[in-house]
Structure formats: structure tokens, C-alpha cells
Structure 1
Amino acid sequence: MKKSTVTLQFNPELSLNADGKHVREGLSTILRTGDYLWVSCDERCTLERLKKINEDTFGEHHSFDLSQFLKLPAGTNNEIDIEGIASEEHYLWLVGSHSLARRKPKKSQDSDDQIKRLAKLKTDPNRYLLARIPLIRHKNTGEISLAKHSTHPYEHQFMLTAAQLIGNHAGSNQLLEALTHDIHVQDFLKIPGKDNGFDIEGLAVHGERIFIGLRGPVLRGWAIIFEVAVQDTHEGYFELKPVGPKGELYIKHFLHLEGMGIRELSVSGEDLLILAGPSMDLDGTIALYRWPQALRQTGQTITHRKDLMRLFEVPHGSSDTTGQDKAEGLTVYDPHHAIIVFDSPTEERKVNENDVLADLYAF
């Protein structure tokens, strides 16, 4: 395993959210499409695109407001908490965390009020989002961008359209409704993500197969991936279609990641790369795994640790930097390398006023 770095350069005019938080402070996902990197901050309703400038630098930052392509239940007033992005067949796919959040104590308040806040849960309707947006390439410049509608580049009789999973309202959608009676996760749906509750943090797409990785719950050391497929319904929406042997709307895959949950997924040939880390809000081991021949698997599976390849551990904050450098996003950079981006980067990772270093690993 060999590590180098890639510099991500952000435009200061596009990089601050309403609370003044810089996009580089909360990177949660990353995806490479050609000469472009797509990243997201978990406290925004935008996707950020960076263009390759040289071998180790991406810049020319452009920000896309996702409310221009999708019907966000809360508009841009609430974050989407994007935790996974992927691409397949001229589409960029994205998924929100689908999780409840427990309010944080505020040190400025008295003790009683701080304790009361720990009992309060909040739901952000925009978090319950599984969606796709057409990726288009400009004929003359080669620029890759997003569009709400676009003619298929090779089959001109077909249209590519932005769409999302039905039922994105009031903190639910069709996926969560299907899981309300699931024997493994039903009891975790009302537990906040940072408490080992239900929390999506990984997405990979291959053909019609959509793999959704859970940071939590982790069940006695076993992490969970849901596999689903979709079909269009009416304009701007799609629905889950049966994929299980008895008409189930999802298939479950269980993987023993040695107690860790899933932070990100990425397709590598016929394998899946899995970035794994703690399910709860704590410092702990973060590692990259390979699930060999994952895309050849059919039906429900359970994969023991000896059948997974643990490639390497990813450094994270500890001691003086506890709570920092939390690896969150992963994308295949080329057939032999992957890029990892970090939430809450250390000062050493920040470059200049608006840039940040991502790590490039051989695998």
C-alpha cells in the first residue's frame, strides 16, 4: 500500500453554506467521472464538481444546486446529508443518510437544557433521498455536467431524466416503508444513526443493481448491504421493483467487517471496495476491504471475514486530533488507485484558504 495526496481546490465564493461552514470541512462522498471529481458536503443541498488540472490537482470548482434537478421535500432549507454517489449508464446516483439525528448539547446552555437536548430527535425530510441525475458531456469541450432532461447520447429515441424514489415526504420513502417489518433492521429505524441506528453511508451501482451500504446498524459485528432495483413510474419518480425470490423489494447481504459499519462503496471490476469504520460517533479503526466477485453474487448472501480481503487501514484523528480526519468518501481513481476524502480534516490537511488534501492509495 502506497499513499500520496491529491489537492482539491475550492472556489471561496461557492464554498460556504448558510452557517458559514466551508465545504472542505465536511466532505462525505467522492466520485470520479473522466477528468472530473464530484464531491459533496453532508450539510448542503449541492454537489461540487472539480476538474483535473494536473496529475495531483483538481480545481475549477463548480457547484450544482440539486433543487434544480430534484423535488426536495424541504427545498433548500434542510440538508440532504448526501452519503453516497455513484455513476452508471449516463446517470449520477446519490443517496441521503435516511437517518434520524440526535441533538447535540450546547456548552453555552445550562446543564439541564443540555441534558434535555440529548433526548430530542430531529428528522430532515431531505435526508430520505435516493435519486439519479443525467450526466451529459458537451460535444465540443468534453465538459461533463448535470441535466434534468437529456437525449440519450447514442440512442436518440430515448430520454435521460432526473428522478427519485417515490415517497420522499415526512421522513420516509418506499425503501423505509418496505423495511418496517424487516426482522434485522425494523427495531433500528427509530434510533439515530450515531447511536448505531439506521444510517446509510454507501452507494454503488452496476447495471440495474443498486447497492446501499449501512453504517448502522452493525449486528454482532456484521455489516449490511441492501441491493435494490428500480423502475420508472411517473415523471420525476421511480419505484422499487421486486428483486427477491418471493417478490421482496430488496435483497440483504451480510459482511463481517470485524465490527465496523460501511462508510462507502465503490465498484472495482467485479468486486466491491468497502470503506469501513465505526458505526457510532467515536474514533476507531477505519479500513478498506475488497469483497471479491461481489457482482457475481446472486440472492441473499453472508460473507465471513476470511472471504473478504482487508487491504489496509486508513489513518484517522486521535490524541490531539481526536474527532478529525474521519474517512468518509471513496472512489476508484484508476484500476490500481483509490481516492479517499475526509470529514473534519486536520489543519495539516488544509492547504491555503480554500483547498484540502485527499489521499491517493494503491490497492
Structure 2
Amino acid sequence: MATTRPNLQEADIEGLACADGYLWLVDSHSLKRKNPKLKDGADKARKLLAKVRSDGNRYLLARIPLVEGDGTCELAKRTRQNGPELFAARLKGDDKGDELTEALQHDLHLGPFLGIPGKDNGFDIEGLAVAGKRIFLGLRGPMLRGWAVILEVAVAADATACILRLQPIGPQGCLYRKHFLQLGGLGIRDLCDLLILAGLTMELDGPIRVFRWPGGCAPADEAVVPADALQRVLEVPYGEGMALFSPDGDLPNSLLVVYDAAADDRKSGKSAVTVDILELPPLR
């Protein structure tokens, strides 16, 4: 009997984080609208601008065990290394959404933006950080009168089904907490510990800044963080992702910044690009 290979799609991964033996990853969870080309004519442009699509490769929040050895790391479905078994799992969902989008459907702040494409100031996850049992999701959009949003969630894992389920952590047993940050009209492009990579939303070009949110890894409650409670750390020409970097193997004191669409002069061969390493100023 002939068999057909499933139509596999590349995950639209926007955020990565390493914590407690796992590589965590998150997709954008956003809708998509095509960008028309004017050379194709006005009629086709109008039709394309009217179409909004939901891609199944955009709804993923998952973790994969990391197996370390010989100075490298490999991904595994299951592993045990001097402790409890680690296993791959994803948040319960399908190609139309997951528990997170379901939980946000009727949210007063974010619910109305779930039906708007990410590039149109709709719901759009780009940052991911893991601190203990909490997962922080930085939103590129929506911007709410210039305020950016970080979602905080907690999950429990089912080893049999390899599924993650959201756990109540918010007010009245809500499955998430919302934190609003005054970043000067910038959305969140990445998260790393207490650091926030912030840039303009939608299809705009502008400043990319790195902020530090003191205490952001362990907020006592839902937070509204004004600009004067955030520390502006660095300003970079452009950036899509970042990671702490330690040149001498000691405590990290630099920031490695990577780019989604690197310039040609940053490319080497088929698979190498040049990134920037920026020295972090000391904590204030």
C-alpha cells in the first residue's frame, strides 16, 4: 500500500530559552496578512490585503530536553541525567490555536487583538524567558497606548501524553498574569532574564533598545511598570534576538545580539553569520 508523507511545516519560532535542562521555544501565535507587490496591480493588492490567514505552524509553546556531552548539546525526546527524567512536551493545542489563545479569548486587553494579524498591531509573541516554574512571553504587539505587555504563565507536564497544561496563577484563578511596561512606544522583540530587547512594531524601522526590569523574574503580582522603574541599558542599530554571553566563561557580562535578516557582509559561507557582542554596564 502506498503511503503519503504528512505535510510538515517549519515552526515559526520566535523565542528560545534554556532552563533546567530544557530548550524552551515559542511561536508567534499570530495571524498573517500577505504584503502585496504593487507591480502586480491594484486589484490584486486589494484582494491580498483583505485576506487574513491562520497558519498551524504558529501555535507552539514547547520544551525539549538538552543532552550535554563533549562540549556540545543535543536534543532528545527523553533523557535522564543524574536526576528525574526529562521529556519533550508542548502546550495542549492544535493547528488552530492552543490553551493560551483559548484562555485569552475574552481578555479585556488582549482578546480583541487575537483576530488581528501580528504585523497590524495584533497579538504577536516574540520574547521568551523562563525563571523557575514561570514562563514569561514578551509581546511585540499589541501596543496599548504605547504600553508593551509581558504575559506570565505556569505549566504542569503530563509525561504520558507529553503535554503541558496551563496552571492558575492570576487573579481569581486566571491561567496567566499580565504585566504592562512603559517602553516609550516600543514592543518586545526578545527577553533574556531581566533584560528586554524592545523595538518598533508592525512594519516600522526605528530604535532598538535594551531595558532592564529589576525584579522582573519574580513579580509579586500583576505589574504596571512606568518608564522610571526601568533601566535603559543599551541602544543598538537593529536586533531580533539576544543572549547573555561570557567571554571568559565566568559570570556573563556581555550581550550577544543576533539579526533576523543579516546584511550580506555579515554572511560567511552557507551557514555562518557575524553577530554583535556588546558589553553590559554594571547593575545600578
| Residue 106 of structure 2 is aligned to residue 181 of structure 1 | yes
What secondary structure, in the 3-state scheme, does the structure 2 residue paired with 1:175 have?
A: helix
| Residue 169 of structure 2 is aligned to residue 258 of structure 1 | no
Within 5 Å, which residues of 2 pair with 1:281-360? 281-316=203-238, 327-334=239-246, 335-352=252-269, 354-360=271-277
2: distance between equivalents of 1:226 and 1:288?
A: 18
| Residue 148 of structure 2 is aligned to residue 223 of structure 1 | yes
**Corresponding position of 1:192:** 117
Alpha-carbon shift at residue 108 of structure 1 (Å): 4.9
Asked whether the equivalents of residues 57 and 95 of structure 2 are also in contact (C-alpha less than 8 Å), the reply is no
**Corresponding position of 1:116:** 47
**Corresponding position of 1:147:** 76
| Residue 137 of structure 2 is aligned to residue 248 of structure 1 | no
What secondary structure, in the 3-state scheme, does the structure 1 residue paired with 2:210 have?
A: strand
Q: Which amino acid aligns with 1:147?
A: A
TM-score, normalization by structure 2: 0.91
Label 1:193 to 1:145 Cα distance change in 2 as closer, same or farther (>3 A).
Answer: same
Gaps of 5+ in 1: 1-73, 317-326
Gaps of 5+ in 2: 247-251
**Corresponding position of 2:249:** none
Alpha-carbon shift at residue 343 of structure 1 (Å): 1.7
Label 1:75 to 1:241 Cα distance change in 2 as closer, same or farther (>3 A).
Answer: farther
Alpha-carbon shift at residue 78 of structure 1 (Å): 2.8
2: distance between equivalents of 1:312 and 1:160?
A: 36
2: distance between equivalents of 1:342 and 1:119?
A: 30
How many residues are aligned here? 270
Label 1:179 to 1:355 Cα distance change in 2 as closer, same or farther (>3 A).
Answer: same
Identity among equivalent positions (%) equals 49
2: distance between equivalents of 1:88 and 1:79?
A: 23
Ranges of 4+ aligned residues in structure 1 off by more than 4 Å: none
Label 1:353 to 1:107 Cα distance change in 2 as closer, same or farther (>3 A).
Answer: farther
Q: Which amino acid aligns with 2:176?
A: Y
Note the aligned Cα RMSD (angstroms).
Answer: 1.6
Q: Which amino acid aligns with 2:57?
A: N
Alpha-carbon shift at residue 312 of structure 1 (Å): 1.8
Say which structure, 1 or 2, has more relative contact order (CA 8 Å, 6+ apart): 1
Asked whether the equivalents of residues 257 and 276 of structure 2 are also in contact (C-alpha less than 8 Å), the reply is yes
2: distance between equivalents of 1:310 and 1:294?
A: 14
Asked whether the equivalents of residues 264 and 328 of structure 1 are also in contact (C-alpha less than 8 Å), the reply is yes
